[in-house]
Amino acid sequence: MLSEPIISFRNVWKKYSRQQVLNNSLREELVSLFTGRKSREDLDEGEFWALQGINFDIKQGECIGLYGPNGSGKSTILKLISNVTYPTRGIIDVRGRVAPLIELGAGMHLDLTGIENIYMNGTILGVSIRELRSKVDEIIDFSGLNDFINVPVKKYSSGMYLRLAFSIAVHSAADIFLFDEVLAVGDEEFKEKCRHKISDIMVSDKIVLIVSHDKEDMQRYCDRILSITHGIMQ
């Protein structure tokens, strides 16, 4: 059972449009649908493949680094794993609860205070209210946001968002942790704390997926590195 993949991508393609409004009229869409003159997978003007035929498996307990130049498709892979977006083609299987630290502020409820977000997001990430009550001081303490914990998060700086989001995620019951260069906005002291916490998670049976431009760093910590360029995995 342990060796079964928890995340699997089978021939996954993701199409994006550079123009938000497509030029296709409804008529053109209908003609293509009924006549088959244009395959649904073909690219319309302004569209491009952000991912092309991606295949990989990740097993329980693995720590994987995702490496590639800007715009190569790393964040798109994390968004597909966390269901923020969907594949244009292919099959994605993700078994387990995902804690996605992929976009600063994503998943935060801006009008709620820090502590309200701890309860809200903690519950979404599988922690019971009773457990959250017993962990809340530890979560606040790790975040270092003690003086700001009763302030609505819309007043937080990007570093403060990170502190709260990271602290909630690493104290959650998630099975899969996605870290998309989130540490970039943290100060050195907090980064160091996060690195320790990530190392603790790595030695557990959880899956950790890290996106970073620092290949050497990833080689030190990760079991494997998946390299991607222009949406194609090497």
Ligand X SMILES: Nc1ncnc2c1ncn2[C@@H]1O[C@H](COP(=O)(O)OP(=O)(O)OP(=O)(O)O)[C@@H](O)[C@H]1O
Binding residues for ligand X, rule: CB under 6 A, are 16, 50, 68, 70-76
Question: Residue 29: CA atoms inside 13 Å, Cβ hemisphere, count?
Answer: 5
Rounded least distance, CB 65 to ligand X, Å = 13
Of 123 and 227, the one with the shorter C-beta distance to ligand X is 227
Rounded least distance, CB 16 to ligand X, Å = 3
Q: Residue ranges of the alpha helices (H) in 45-157?
A: 74-81, 114-124, 129-143
Of 191 and 230, the one with the shorter C-beta distance to ligand X is 230
d(CA 192, CA 175): 23
Of 146 and 229, the one with the shorter C-beta distance to ligand X is 229
Rounded least distance, CB 158 to ligand X, Å = 15
Rounded least distance, CB 35 to ligand X, Å = 28
6-39 b/e with 16+ CB inside 10 Å = b?
bbbbeebbbbeeeeeeeeeeeeeeeebeeeeeee
d(CA 127, CA 123): 5
